[in-house]
């Protein structure tokens, strides 16, 4: 009698490990423009949990981050993503995206201006860029155990999209990513604030 029960527990354990592995997989790719590290995770907006894709990108002169929201139509009911979309977006000149590197003594936070658009694959992308991201990637390759991304809504009441990514499994690929940047020592685009 114990064998079927133990076998069932083993199958459940394998299934749960497979689901959790999705957020720990960090894929490294190269093309003519960027070195990219990509992972899949989740984000929370109040009670709603959604699937997201995080892309960290670097080349010799610049760095970028794309935060892709898969089911953005569901998010629209709680958090108005359209205020982030396009060159005339009301959020264009506001630093509503914050990246926290946790586990490096005092938490390091950087706030960024963002741009939003709908990608060809139907995801809503919140994009940020600049040389200061390359410095953050360098720190991530050496220290910190958690990357937290927070996007604040434009309208009241304030809402937040919050997503966290463990860096423990990503150190090697983020080191390769950070090494792709060879830009100027002075920043071309400074973050809105560093706390």
What pLDDT is recorded for position 6? 42
Q: pTM here?
A: 0.80
What pLDDT is recorded for position 184? 58
- Domain ranges, residue 62: 2-194
The number of domains in the chain is: 1
Q: What is the pLDDT of residues 4-48, one digit of tens each?
A: 544 443 333 333 333 333 446 999 999 999 999 999 999 999 899
> What average pLDDT does the segment 104-110 reach?
79
Q: Which two tokens stand for residue 113?
A: 């201006």
What pLDDT is recorded for position 22? 41
Q: Which of helix, strand or coil describes residue 174? A: helix
Please, are residues 116 and 125 in contact by the beta-carbon 8 Å criterion?
yes
Confidence band of 3 (pLDDT split at 50, 70, 90): low
Q: What is the pLDDT of residues 116-172, one digit of tens each?
A: 999 999 999 999 998 899 999 999 999 889 999 999 999 888 999 999 999 988 999
Give the span between the Cα atoms of 67 and 54, in whole angstroms: 5
Give the span between the Cα atoms of 29 and 146, in whole angstroms: 22
> What average pLDDT does the segment 102-125 reach?
89
Q: What are the strands, taking DSSP E only, across 35-187?
A: 35-45, 48-58, 63-69, 97-102, 108-112, 115-118, 124-129, 146-152, 160-166
- Lowest-pLDDT range of 9-13, 58-62, 67-71, 137-141: 9-13
What pLDDT is recorded for position 92? 86
In this model, does residue 194 exceed pLDDT 50? no
> What average pLDDT does the segment 57-71 reach?
95
């Amino acid at each position: 009698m114990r064998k079927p029960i133990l076998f069932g527990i083993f199958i459940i354990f394998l299934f749960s490990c497979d689901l959790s592995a999705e957020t720990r997989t960090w894929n490294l790719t190269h093309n003519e423009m960027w070195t990219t590290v990509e992972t899949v995770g989740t984000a929370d907006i109040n009670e709603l949990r959604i699937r997201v894709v995080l892309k960290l990108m670097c080349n010799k002169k610049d760095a970028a981050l794309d935060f892709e929201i898969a089911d953005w139509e569901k998010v629209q009911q709680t958090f108005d993503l359209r205020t982030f979309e396009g060159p005339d977006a009301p959020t264009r000149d506001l630093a509503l995206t914050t990246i926290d590197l946790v586990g490096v003594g005092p938490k390091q936070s950087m706030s960024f201006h963002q741009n939003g658009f709908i990608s060809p694959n139907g995801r809503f992308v919140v994009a940020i860029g600049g040389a200061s991201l390359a410095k953050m990637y360098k720190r991530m390759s050496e220290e910190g155990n958690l990357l937290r991304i927070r996007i604040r809504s434009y309208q009241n009441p304030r809402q937040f999209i919050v997503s966290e990514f463990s860096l423990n499994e990503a150190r090697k690929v983020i080191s390769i990513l950070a090494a792709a940047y060879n830009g100027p020592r002075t920043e071309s685009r400074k973050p809105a604030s560093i706390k």
